[in-house]
């Protein structure tokens, strides 16, 4: 089955002013004009969703959000529901990113980690709420350096995939995007060897196969994330199990982001 590559730019807590967001979004639109055969997504901070939506109007670039909540309304201060995101023009939602799980590649003071309380159970709730709203989740999974050195990579990744999918139907599962992001490669400049990244993305697909069968496993798209850049994108994206990239730092420079899209 031919899977359309998907390149998504996660701006994180960057480009959050109206001027910055508008400029970058317009640059991305110009850079991908006339290109086809790849899904391009930009995921800005909540505060500039409207600004980016306006800048993307009439282009093939779609907008994503960096997280979402599983309730539709209620006394949940600071939370943003999937329905709100849909109304804002969002198509994709990043869920379970290591940084919302409190799993950082760079050092973070121990006393602050409780702020990042994401678990497999909350990721699953968010996945189901996102799908119910008609949006598409990008589900992040990945191991820490300690887990990799301890030989736990496959177990951690397969457990996170399975945990995110409880109660998800076959039809829903076939539409999902997974992003394998080794935690130790996020924001550190380190990148997983292409062959190993492909092997672990294959573990993601194998886990989906065990839950839903071959047809669904072949339909889901699996991105690699973690210091993907113009100089390593082509090698990573040429791997059979890697269907795109969830891009952090390189998504903040339109030329770098465009180069990765070209590689896809």
The answer to the question of residue 1 being in a domain is: no
- Residue 183's contacts (CB-CB under 8 Å, 6 or more residues apart) are 98, 103, 104, 105, 142, 143, 144, 145
The answer to the question of residue 118 being in a domain is: yes
Distance CA 134, CA 82 (A): 9
The answer to the question of residue 127 being in a domain is: yes
The answer to the question of residue 143 being in a domain is: yes
What CATH number did the domain enclosing 106 receive? 3.20.20.70
Q: Give the count of domains, the chain.
A: 1
DSSP 3-state assignment of 138?
strand
The answer to the question of residue 89 being in a domain is: yes
The answer to the question of residue 155 being in a domain is: yes
The answer to the question of residue 246 being in a domain is: yes
Distance CA 88, CA 207 (A): 33
Element (H, E) at 31: helix 18-32
Q: Is 118 among the residues known to form the active site?
A: no
The DSSP 8-state label assigned to residue 178 in this structure reads E
Q: How far is CA 45 from CA 8, 171, 203, 213, 250, in A?
A: 14, 30, 31, 36, 16
Question: Burial code of 17-55, b = ≥16 C-beta within 10 A, e = fewer?
Answer: eeebbbebbbbbbebbeeeeebbbbbbbbbebbebbbeb
DSSP 3-state assignment of 93?
strand
Q: What's the domain range around 86? A: 6-263
The answer to the question of residue 219 being in a domain is: yes
Of residues 99, 115, 181, 196, which has the active-site annotation? 181
Q: Is 181 among the residues known to form the active site?
A: yes
Distance CA 222, CA 136 (A): 13
**Mind listing the pLDDT tens digit of every residue in the chain (264 residues)?**
689 999 999 999 999 999 999 999 999 999 999 899 999 999 999 999 999 999 999 999 999 999 999 999 999 999 999 999 999 999 999 999 999 998 887 667 878 888 888 999 999 999 999 999 999 999 999 999 889 999 999 999 999 999 999 999 999 999 999 999 999 887 777 778 999 999 999 999 999 999 999 999 999 999 999 889 999 999 999 999 999 999 999 999 999 999 999 999
Of residues 83, 97, 99, 118, which has the active-site annotation? 97
Q: How far is CA 138 from CA 4, 26, 39, 82, 234, in A?
A: 15, 23, 13, 13, 21
The DSSP 8-state label assigned to residue 136 in this structure reads E
């Amino acid at each position: 089955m031919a899977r359309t590559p998907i390149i998504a730019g996660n701006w994180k807590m960057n480009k959050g002013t109206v001027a910055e967001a508008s400029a970058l979004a317009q640059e991305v639109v110009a850079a991908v004009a006339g290109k086809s055969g790849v899904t391009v997504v930009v995921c800005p901070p909540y505060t500039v969703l409207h600004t980016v939506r306006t800048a993307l109007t009439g282009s093939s670039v779609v907008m994503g959000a960096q997280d979402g909540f599983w309730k539709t309304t209620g006394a949940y201060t600071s939370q943003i529901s999937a329905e709100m995101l849909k109304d804002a023009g969002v198509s994709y939602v990043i869920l379970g990113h290591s940084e919302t799980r409190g799993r950082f590649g760079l050092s973070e003071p121990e006393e602050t980690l409780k702020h990042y309380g994401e678990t497999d159970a909350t990721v699953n709730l968010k996945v189901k709420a996102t799908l119910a709203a008609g949006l598409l989740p990008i589900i992040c999974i990945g191991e820490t350096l300690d887990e990799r050195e301890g030989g736990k990579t496959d177990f951690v990744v397969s457990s996170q995939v399975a945990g995110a999918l409880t109660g998800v139907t076959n039809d829903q599962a076939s539409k999902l995007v997974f992003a394998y992001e080794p935690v130790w490669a996020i924001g550190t400049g380190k990148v997983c060897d292409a062959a190993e990244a492909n092997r672990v993305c294959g573990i993601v697909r194998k886990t989906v196969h065990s839950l839903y069968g071959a047809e669904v496993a072949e339909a889901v798209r699996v991105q690699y994330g973690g210091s993907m850049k113009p100089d390593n994108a082509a090698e990573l994206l040429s791997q059979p199990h890697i269907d795109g990239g969830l891009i952090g730092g390189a998504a903040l420079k339109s030329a770098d982001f465009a180069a990765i899209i070209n590689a896809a």
